[in-house]
Amino acid sequence: MADSRVYKFGDSQLTLAFGDITTSEAQVLVSSDDSYLTMSGGVSAAIRRAGGNAIALDAAKKVPVPLGNVAVTTAGTLPAQHIFHAATIGPSSAAEQMPPTEILRNATRRSMELLDALQLQSIAFPALGAGTAKFSYEEVAARMAEVIADALLNRKRPVDVTIHLFDDSGRKQPFDYIRFFEEFAARVPRIAAREAPAQPSTNAADAVREHVFISYSHQDKAWLKRLQDMLQPLLRKNSIALWSDTGIKPGSQWKDEIERALATAKVAVLLVSPGFLASDFIAQHELPPLLDKAKQQGVRILWVYVSACLYKETEIAAYQAAHDIAHPLDKLRTAKRNEVLVQICQQIKAAVNPQEP
């Protein structure tokens, strides 16, 4: 799965991209904040950490900012020229009087107007209000799309607009944002029709492989949770990205989502147990494509011996285990089990990023 999509509007373009907005090279970064620009949570706190307290000191001179409006400040030590602070959280009385849809439209429209007023050519938005303000991604996608599309269609001077999708808690993975892309296209088809073809990679198979696919039996959900918890520090640092079927949204075409995840996995972790080997779905739909990609395209297979089983009677035995299989995890005491889980996580990290120490 590509981590961005580009939509063309003449010489201007809109990009939706997974990533940290503080790494953007745009001339303007947009921050989503409360009316007093406290920069205390979500994307605003990330921008403050990256650019320094000079941003917050400058912002303090501009408060309060009316709900849905935007204040302009220095970008501190960031390479951007300005930070646009969009007030998406206000006093309860103001929030009750202005619906979330109007807040999003006003803040996005005002940001685009200020970009023109300052004669700048690039701007990077977060998904406004999708963090601390708790606006739904569907609402954010539709409303921001409407305003940005109108702004790009009606301009003579080309600009580059990017919407960054990022979760600084580290709990969301790229597949969690599939719904954002789908809503963006479904609610605003005029933008979907302008999607630019993906740029070919010199090695397309490698270019799209970006995450760790976890294959497990639903009987072993507790073991999946233990592994996910142990991996959280790596997830927060974006050292790895995980996919398991727990990320599939209700109503989604689950088989299609699993096939997409299999097709784009860089590393596969198998939680091997009697339940795993007994699963017809795993045996028929997950293991065959994973093992084939391991042979043909270099996908790394690591397996975890959760509980004693007849793994030697399967192809799994030919692949590297992520720990000493003389001791299945369910035979270990808590302290020793945690030590082994740490070793497993280190193996996963090394498989995803072999160049990192």
* Structural domain contains residue 357: no
Domain boundary among 192, 217, 239: 192
CATH number of the domain encompassing residue 188: 3.40.220.10
The answer to whether residues 285 and 336 belong to one domain is: yes
* Structural domain contains residue 82: yes
The answer to whether residues 46 and 117 belong to one domain is: yes
Domain boundary among 171, 192, 213: 192
The answer to whether residues 181 and 213 belong to one domain is: no
The answer to whether residues 29 and 136 belong to one domain is: yes
Asked whether 330 and 306 are in contact (CB, 8 A), the reply is: yes
The answer to whether residues 154 and 12 belong to one domain is: yes
The answer to whether residues 124 and 226 belong to one domain is: no
The answer to whether residues 37 and 150 belong to one domain is: yes
* Structural domain contains residue 348: yes
Q: Which two tokens stand for residue 24?
A: 């953007």
The answer to whether residues 138 and 9 belong to one domain is: yes
Give how many domains the chain has, as a whole number. Answer: 2
The answer to whether residues 188 and 215 belong to one domain is: no
* Structural domain contains residue 199: no
Asked whether 174 and 3 are in contact (CB, 8 A), the reply is: yes
Reported as type and span, the H/E element at residue 206 is: helix 204-207
The answer to whether residues 93 and 225 belong to one domain is: no
- Mark 40-68 as b/e (b = at least 16 C-beta within 10 Å): ebbbbbbbbebbeeebbebbeeeeebebb
Residues 6 or more apart whose CB falls under 8 angstroms from that of 23 comprise none
The answer to whether residues 49 and 98 belong to one domain is: yes
Centroid of chain to Cα 169: 10
The answer to whether residues 92 and 222 belong to one domain is: no
Q: Which domain holds residue 237?
A: 204-352
In tens digits, the chain (357 residues) has pLDDT values of: 346 788 899 889 998 887 789 988 899 999 999 999 999 888 899 999 999 999 999 999 999 999 999 999 999 999 999 999 999 887 755 545 678 888 889 999 999 999 999 999 999 999 887 765 566 666 787 788 889 988 998 777 899 999 887 755 555 555 555 666 666 777 778 887 888 875 544 333 333 345 788 999 989 999 999 999 999 888 877 778 887 766 544 334 445 566 666 777 788 899 999 999 999 988 988 888 888 888 887 888 999 999 999 999 999 999 889 999 999 999 999 999 999 999 999 999 888 877 665
Cα–Cα distance between 30 and 122 in angstroms, integer? 11
Name the pTM for this structure.
Answer: 0.57
Domain boundary among 192, 226, 258: 192
* Structural domain contains residue 285: yes
CATH number of the domain encompassing residue 230: 3.40.50.10140
* Structural domain contains residue 198: no
* Structural domain contains residue 258: yes
* Structural domain contains residue 211: yes
